[in-house]
Structure formats: C-alpha cells, structure tokens
C-alpha cells in the first residue's frame, strides 16, 4: 500500500469522519483535508484509481468520481498516461498576490480586522445600525416590554388548519405571492379593519407583508429619497428608526406629550416626506393622540405633501371599551398608509403583517412588494385566513386580552403596594388600560439606564425610557412588560423591581 493510500485509509477508518456522507464524498473530503494540511504535498503523485480502489476496498467508480471532483475544484491535476498529481495551491496564491498585491493586502487587513481587530469592516451606516443591538436586549425574560405570551397560542387548532391546507396539495400556494398576498386573507383583514378599527379600506388596498418592519421599509423605499426628512415621535419605536436610518433618511424627532405628537413652529418650518406615528397607543409612552392633534397632522400632511405612516401595532390590547378608531379613518385626502401585524396577537415568528395603501399607490406598491421582497408563505396565509374566517382569531384575542388585563392590574397593585405612599409623589405608574407594557415614570434626577442595568442583575429585563429618545430625553422611566409573565412571577419579580426602583429614587 502506498503512503497516500495508507494516509487516506487511516482517515476513512475514523468513525467520526463524516459518517453520514456517501463513500465517494468521504474520500473526496479526506483527500482535500490532506492537501490543505500538506500531508499530501504539491506535486505528489496519487495512486491510480485501480490501485487506490484495491487498497481502500471500495469500487473504482467511487475513486474516479472523487478524483474528478478534486480536479474540478483545482486540488489535483491529471494528464492522460501520466497520472494524477496534487496541485500547487501555494503557487496559485503567489500569482494572485503578484497580480494585485495592494488589493490582496487590503483584503487581508480587512479580514484580520473582522476576525479580531479594533473595529468591524462596516460602513458608517452599518456601524450606526448595529450599535443598538436590539436582539440581545429583547430576549424573553420577566418584564421585557413588547413581548406577548405566545405560549398560549392554540397550537393543536393551528396544526389542524395547516394540515388541511397541505392535504389539499394546491400548487399555487407554493409560489410567491404575486397579487399582494392570499386573497381570502386580504378579504378577512379588510372586514376586520372595517369593523374593529374604522379603517376605510377595500380589498385591493391591502398588501400582505412580512410584518411592520417590512411595511415600513417598503414605504421608505417607494415614498422617500436619500436625505429626505422623516418626522418621528420622540421617544420613538427603535425598529422604525432603524428602517429609516438604513434608507438614509434624515430623522427629525418631535416631542410626544399626553396628547401625542406635539407640533410647534420649529417643526412646522421643516418639510417632511414621511411622518411616522403610533396614534392609538404611542410607543413607548402609551399616550393617545387627541382628535385635535389628529386633524392637525392630517392637515399638515396635505399642505406639505407628506405621507403619514400609521403603525397600529397593538390595538387589540385595549382592556376597557372598544379599540380606538384609526387615524386613517379620518383621512379624506389619501395621505395615510396604515399598517398592523399578527406577530403581537399570535406569535412573533409568524412574520405576517398588512399594509393598507391609498388607492393611487396600489399598483406601484403591489409591483414593488413582488419585485423587491418576493413575498411567500402562502400556506401560512391560507391557514391564517381560515383561522380568522372561522372565528378563532376573535376568540383568541378575547382570551389573551382578559389574561393580559389581569396581569397588568396585578403588576400595578404589586408595584403600588411595594413602593408605598412615600414614593407616590415622585414615582408615577401609567394608567392607560391598553398595550403590553406600562411605564414607571421616575424623577428627572434618576438615572433610568443605571436602574435598567441594576434590574438586569436581578433577572428582570425592563427598558429605560430615556434610551428611546433621539433628542435629549425629557422624561425618565422604565418600560415594564407584563404579557409574558405568569401571575406568580408578576408578584415575585414585581417586588424585586420595586426594590430596585426604591434604591434609585431614595
């Protein structure tokens, strides 16, 4: 047996060497590894396919197929009547360095930086977008704001609906969504929005997207150019900020008070292309935009030829009375694009949302949704359409609304009891009966970021209100989620949180 055969046989005899791969692929991987590790050096002659097959006890065709793959990828060279030899990979690398040594050096330096240098090789925009690192901050932990209790999702019912769709074996549901989404789902959403949110909408105006982030991104791409101004609420939902920054828009923060976005002469002197608002339940403060402010905003949009992006992210979670009517329902000039999502009411990973566009924008948005996003998941959309049409959606909302409302009240009572009357003058707990979080507002002198970190040491994932501001923050506080916390944990962690707040306020 030749040294090369012996080396390859030893490698293939190892039980943990790609045990699930076909023998042809295992031989290829063994030879490639030996070449990379220079156990088979450049210029070494490999055994003939007949000899190697005999030495390894495998079929000759298996060896030939492995040799052909190695040759195709440049690891070996062969000539008729001469044999098969290991290629000189180092010579190829040297020739590449000679052709473009400056470029090679730059690439090498960038790679070294990426692997462990002082900074990642990102653009300025990339560094800005990744600085926030929202993902690690929003893991499911007690009191994380914005998280819904998707453990209560009716899994078995959903599975039955999906199984029925799959049994129908409809090939059209395996394609991209070419018409703005699955028609029965768009019809169901249309009726739902008309009845529950007073949205003026036809089926043609509804586009199915992969959620609010994609809806916002589509609006930013189609309605604004690089450098255009976007008015955003201050404090503002971090996801909207990231989308607009990624599209190189200029953000102009506008202060939010108890009546929503507050426009003054300085703001009115600017000319926005987009205006992003959460009027029914401002995120994160919870303020509800007054009727006067809504009418003013609609008037401004017409005068400045701007588009209003209405994010109605949690209208289902209003615990007293009916959900508030949408701003879009007041719009008589077709300046509002209305968006919502199923990720909050069903489960985050469903990644299905909807965007209602004015009639004049139907054709371009439908075309761009297909050309830019290649939407799919029609099987999921079909199951969701049945889920709504059969009444399961309404039942599910009613159930979780009761659950979340009870948890919210329990959290409020726990915090009030633990904080005591001595802090009632300096600490305010939001009283809005809606949403998935409440705000514990703190005195201006309190460092809410420090309290956020202190709470994290106790296993509590609250968020500092000041971190949501673009301009210097005018309010301090903590966002406390309650949806994904059982009643027992609400009380336990509520007491821990109250102790953290007391330590920071006193």
When pLDDT is cut at 50, 70 and 90, the band that residue 204 belongs to is very high
Q: Which residue has the tokens 């916390």?
A: 485
Structure tokens at 205: 């105006």
Average predicted confidence (pLDDT) for the chain: 88
Nearest to 286 by CA among 309, 313, 266: 313
Q: In this structure, are residues 390 and 306 in contact, taking their beta carbons and an 8 Å threshold?
A: no
Average pLDDT over residues 82-102: 65
Reply yes or no: is the peptide bond before residue 284 cis, omega within 30 of 0.
yes
pLDDT at 359 over 80: yes
With b for 16 or more beta-carbon neighbours within 10 A and e for fewer, the 142-172 pattern comes to: bbbbbbbbbeeeeeeebeebbeebeeeeeee
Buried b (16+ CB within 10 A) or exposed e, 359-370: eebbeebbeebb
pLDDT, tens only, 386-416: 999 999 999 999 999 999 999 999 999 999 9
Q: Would you state the structure tokens that stand for residue 81, as one six-digit string? A: 């009547």
DSSP letters, 88-124, are: -HHHHHHHHHHHSHHHHHHHHHHHHHHHHSSS-S--H
Output the pTM of the full model.
Answer: 0.78
What pLDDT is recorded for position 120?
Answer: 55
Name the phi and psi angles at 117, rounded to 5.
-80, -170
pLDDT above 60 (res 111): no
Tens of pLDDT, residues 247-283: 999 999 999 999 999 999 888 999 999 999 999 999 9
pLDDT at 101: 47
Cβ contact 86:44 at 8 Å = yes
Q: What was the pLDDT predicted at 139?
A: 53
296-351 pLDDT per residue, tens: 999 999 999 999 999 998 888 888 777 778 999 999 999 999 999 999 899 888 99
Average pLDDT score over residue span 165-184? 88
Over pLDDT 70: what percentage of the chain?
92
Sign of the four-CA dihedral 259, 264, 266, 269: positive
């Amino acid at each position: 047996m030749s040294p090369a055969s012996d080396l390859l046989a030893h490698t293939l005899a190892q039980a943990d060497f790609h045990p699930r791969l076909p023998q042809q692929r295992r031989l290829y991987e063994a030879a490639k590894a030996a070449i990379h590790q220079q156990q088979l050096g450049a210029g070494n002659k490999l055994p003939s396919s007949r000899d190697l097959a005999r030495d390894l006890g495998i079929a000759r065709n298996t060896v030939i197929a492995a040799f052909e793959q190695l040759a195709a990828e440049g690891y070996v060279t062969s000539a008729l009547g001469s044999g098969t030899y290991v290629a000189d990979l180092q010579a190829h690398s040297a020739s590449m360095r000679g052709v473009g040594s400056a470029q090679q050096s730059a690439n090498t330096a960038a790679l070294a930086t990426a692997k462990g240098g002082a900074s990642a090789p990102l653009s300025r925009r990339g560094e800005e977008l990744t600085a926030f690192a929202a993902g690690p901050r929003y893991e499911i932990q007690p009191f994380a704001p914005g998280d819904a209790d998707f453990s209560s999702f009716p899994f078995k019912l959903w599975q039955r609906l999906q199984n029925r769709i799959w049994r129908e074996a409809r090939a059209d549901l395996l394609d991209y969504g070419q018409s703005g989404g699955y028609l029965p789902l768009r019809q169901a959403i249309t009726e739902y929005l008309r009845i529950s949110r007073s949205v003026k909408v036809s089926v043609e105006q509804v586009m199915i997207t992969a959620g609010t982030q994609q809806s916002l991104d589509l609006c930013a791409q189609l309605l604004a150019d690089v450098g255009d101004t976007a008015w955003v609420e201050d404090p503002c939902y971090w996801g909207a900020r990231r989308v607009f920054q990624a599209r190189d828009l200029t953000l102009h923060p506008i202060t939010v008070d108890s009546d929503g976005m507050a426009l003054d002469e300085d703001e009115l002197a600017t000319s926005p292309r987009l205006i992003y608002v959460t009027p029914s339940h401002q995120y994160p403060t919870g303020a509800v935009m007054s009727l006067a402010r809504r009418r003013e905003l609609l008037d401004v949009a017409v005068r400045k030829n701007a588009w209003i992006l209405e994010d109605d992210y949690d209208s289902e979670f209003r615990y007293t009375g009916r959900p508030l009517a949408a701003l879009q329902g007041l719009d008589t000039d077709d300046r509002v694009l209305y968006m919502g999502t199923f990720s909050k009411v069903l489960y985050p990973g469903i990644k299905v949302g909807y965007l209602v566009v004015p009639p004049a924008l139907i054709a371009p948005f439908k075309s761009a949704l297909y050309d830019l996003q290649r939407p799919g998941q029609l099987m999921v959309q079909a199951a969701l359409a049945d889920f709504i049409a059969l009444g399961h959606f309404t039942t599910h909302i009613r159930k979780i609304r009761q659950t979340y409302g009870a948890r919210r009240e329990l959290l409020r009572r726990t915090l009030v009891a633990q904080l005591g009357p001595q802090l009632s003058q300096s600490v305010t707990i939001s009283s809005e009966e809606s949403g998935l979080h409440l705000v514990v507002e703190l005195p201006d002198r309190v460092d809410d970021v420090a309290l956020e970190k202190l709470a994290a040491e106790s296993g509590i994932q609250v968020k500092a209100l000041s971190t949501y501001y673009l301009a210097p923050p005018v309010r301090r506080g903590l966002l406390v989620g309650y949806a994904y916390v059982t009643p027992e944990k609400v009380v336990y962690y509520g007491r821990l949180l109250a102790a953290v707040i007391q330590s920071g306020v006193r």
